[in-house]
Structure 1
Amino acid sequence: MTMVDAARQWIHSLQPSLLWGGGVVAFICLTWETPRFFVTLAFILSPRPSRPAPDSSPGLVRWRVIQRDHDRIKDEYGRLRIDPFRSDELAVLDDLTVPEAVALVQALAAASDAAETTDPPTYEQAVLHLAKAWRQAKARAAQTEPQPLPDRAHEPRARTTASGIQPTPRRPRPPIPKEQTCR
């Protein structure tokens, strides 16, 4: 008997036990996974309920439009606050002696307070009032002309001494502290 014949004989003797063992393993896997397979298959084949359309009731759409307007005005005001090239407009809107600036600040506070409520008419009125105050404040800021830098040529000149040299102002010096001795 050669090595090849011995290997064939060993494989043929091993084959029935491998088939039985593989069959048992396959049976266990099938019985274990069959219910999960059928549940997945039923889920895939089941009719899906149609996706509900977003709530497009007029009240909800109106609420979203009001929120968008409120956010737009807050964003515009925020961009104005951080823009260094619009300092003249900001100076007018920060001056609380200007009635439009006071109305804008009050309208911003009222709209923010009304946004926290669930009463749409109150929020709508507050945002409409805010939009009106914002338009008036922008118009007032646009009316103001940029303030030019002060012209130093027209300032009165300081007195000079007989030699033409301007006296230098003397700053008072702080008193020199006395040295303390340790005892």
Structure 2
Amino acid sequence: MTFADTARQWIHSLLLALLLGGGAVVLVGIVCAAPRLLATAIYVLRPTPSRPSPESHRAVVRRRVIQRDHDRIKDEYGRLRIDPFRGDELAVLDDLTVPEAVALVQALAAADDAETTDPPTYEKAVLHLAKAWRRAQARAAQTEPQPLLDRRLELRACTTESGVPSARRQPRPPIPKEQKCR
């Protein structure tokens, strides 16, 4: 074997090692990059959503405005129910013999029920609720506030037709004292 044959064999072995090693590196690179390449291909090939039509955008905005009005009325009514200084207004709105109070309760229920229905029905229910709320507020504003002392006297003066105080207003018997265990 000559020096040229040995050099040729050595170069051939070197090229084969580089080819196999390079092939392994390329194979590992492809395996590692495959998920990223696949995600990029899916992202590029996915259908792009079309722009919403202007009518649907207006409908969404209108729905939000109606929802905001509904929430505002519910919040105002809730604040009225927990405000101790507005007892006269609450007394009128809790009295179910007052037609405005009945209309308000019915309108609140109808608006809550219509919230999941189609937009025109919900809009009509909220408009009806707003009208009922304004009427109920006007009715509550018309009533004259009663002094706190008059109310207490009325509660104490509640008697049945026979003149006997009602059992509901009688004081409770005293609670017996605890006895010590021995």
Taking structure 2 as the reference length, the TM-score comes to 0.56
- Aligned Cα RMSD in Å? 3.5
CA–CA distance in 1 between the matches of 2:63 and 2:39? 42
Q: For residue 147 of structure 1, report the CA deviation from its aligned partner.
A: 1.5
Q: Which residue of 1 aligns with 2:90?
A: 90
Between the aligned residues of both structures, percent identity stands at 64
Q: For residue 124 of structure 1, report the CA deviation from its aligned partner.
A: 2.2
Instruction: Tell me the distance in 1 between the aligned counterparts of 2:112 and 2:37.
Output: 55
2-structure distance, mates of 1:126, 1:83: 27
Distance in 1 (alpha carbons) for counterparts of 2:62 and 2:33: 52
How far residue 104 of structure 1 moved from its aligned partner, in angstroms, is 0.8
Larger Rg: 1
How many residues matched? 134
CA distance in 2, matches of 1:56, 1:116: 20
1:145 maps to 144
SS at match of 2:149: coil
Distance in 1 (alpha carbons) for counterparts of 2:44 and 2:55: 31
Partner of 1:150: helix, strand, or coil?
Answer: helix
Q: C-alpha distance in 1, partners of 2:142/2:42?
A: 68
CA distances 1:109-158 after superposition (whole Å, capped 9, x unpaired): 2222222332x33322222111111001112212223211227xxxxxxx
Write 1 or 2 for the structure with the bigger share of helix.
Answer: 2
Q: Provide closer, same or farther for how the CA distance between residues 84 and 61 of structure 1 changes in structure 2, counting only shifts above 3 A.
A: same
Q: Distance in 1 between matches of 2:43 and 2:122?
A: 46
User: How far apart, in 2, do the equivalents of 1:107 and 1:70 lie?
Assistant: 11
Matched, 1:111 2:111: yes
Counterpart CA distance in 2 for 1:77 and 1:142 is 14
